[in-house]
Amino acid sequence: MHFLRQLFLLSLCVLSFNASAKIQESLVPGGIALITLDSTQGKPHFKFNNKPLLVTQQDGKTIAVVGLSLNIKPGEHFISGYYGDRKQLIKKFFSVKDKQYTTQNITIKDKRKVNPVKQDMERIIPEQKRKKKAANFWSDETADINFLTPVNGIMTGSYGRRRVFNGHPKRPHSGMDIAAQKGVAIASPAAGTVIESGDFFFSGNLIYLHHGQGLITLFAHLDTINVKVGDKVEKGQIIGTVGATGRVTGPHLHWSVGLNGTWVDPGLFITD
Ligand SMILES: [Zn+2]
């Protein structure tokens, strides 16, 4: 009898876990806003800061998933758009709270990776153009927003940290670092297309995937890359392995998630 009761409680736990496995709203810099739309009025076309927004279904509702940049000001913001071919403009308001991220000091042995020389800049500038283009990629297909964790490892939750490299303040951390050994497999968190890949000065071997409607994932510092630009990947497909290429202190995966052209906290998308 006691055993049956435990089994019953265990099954309840499993059920409640599955029911909560969906992306989480987080109305802070680096978070996401989930804004309910009225799809009975026609196909929604909404934008934030002039960037088109991902629209999907969750819990039987149509929602816009809005990426909030790390430098968004706390306070009232809105998305705007229209339904179908009626061009009557509608605004939907939401409120962003403040969030203070911590500061991290990092020591990098290769000084050129912190203060690049002229010849490095000749490589970095075109790479940054390619990265910007990949981060702002858009096509209309349906997006799967419920992600698998890409690597079995220790997630640092380091998104948003202000970082000081060898005493020089640099841009805040735009992704999550997952510590794992060199050679550990990296799985695609959702179905998508490879839109950029290569060996970059800071990011090392990297891959950008597009999962639909501007939802982008970036994987950096890889040891090996198993895919090429244009490939379609399945959810869970191995795309490469963890490495220590680019600006790193040791082997780990740097994983970023982008929406409407801005990097947000990847932790909000993990539902496995
Ligand atoms: Zn990182």
Q: Dump pLDDT digits (tens) for 235-248.
A: 999 999 999 999 99
The answer to whether residues 140 and 214 belong to one domain is yes
CA of 249 to the centre of ligand 1 (A): 10
Q: How far is CA 5 from CA 15, 120, 154, in A?
A: 15, 65, 34
Give CA–CA dist 270/70, Å, rounded: 19
Residue 7 pLDDT exceeds 80: no
211: three-class secondary structure by DSSP: coil
The boundaries of the domain holding residue 180 are 103-265
Give CA–CA dist 27/6, Å, rounded: 38
CA of 176 to the centre of ligand 1 (A): 6
CA of 253 to the centre of ligand 1 (A): 7
* Residue 124 located in a structural domain: yes
- Work out the average pLDDT over 122-148: 95
The region, left, alpha or beta by phi > 0 then psi within -120 to 50, assigned to residue 236 is left
The answer to whether residues 92 and 191 belong to one domain is no
* Residue 271 located in a structural domain: no
Could you give the maximum distance between any two Cα atoms of the chain, in Å?
74
Give CA–CA dist 71/30, Å, rounded: 8
The answer to whether residues 91 and 116 belong to one domain is no
Of 55, 81, 96, which marks where a domain is finished?
96
The answer to whether residues 54 and 176 belong to one domain is no
Of 96, 131, 150, which marks where a domain is finished?
96
CA of 14 to the centre of ligand 1 (A): 32
CA of 178 to the centre of ligand 1 (A): 8
- Work out the average pLDDT over 180-188: 97
CA of 118 to the centre of ligand 1 (A): 24
Task: Kindly report the CATH number assigned to the domain that includes residue 13.
Answer: 2.60.40.1590
* Residue 72 located in a structural domain: yes
* Residue 130 located in a structural domain: yes
pTM comes to: 0.89
The answer to whether residues 137 and 256 belong to one domain is yes
As residues whose CB is below 5 A from the ion ligand 1, the structure lists 177, 254
CA of 156 to the centre of ligand 1 (A): 9
Task: Kindly report the CATH number assigned to the domain that includes residue 227.
Answer: 2.70.70.10
The answer to whether residues 130 and 239 belong to one domain is yes
DSSP H helical segments within the chain, as ranges?
Answer: 2-19, 118-135
Domain count, the chain: 2
Q: Are 144 and 190 in contact (CB under 8 A)?
A: yes
Q: Report pLDDT for 229.
A: 98
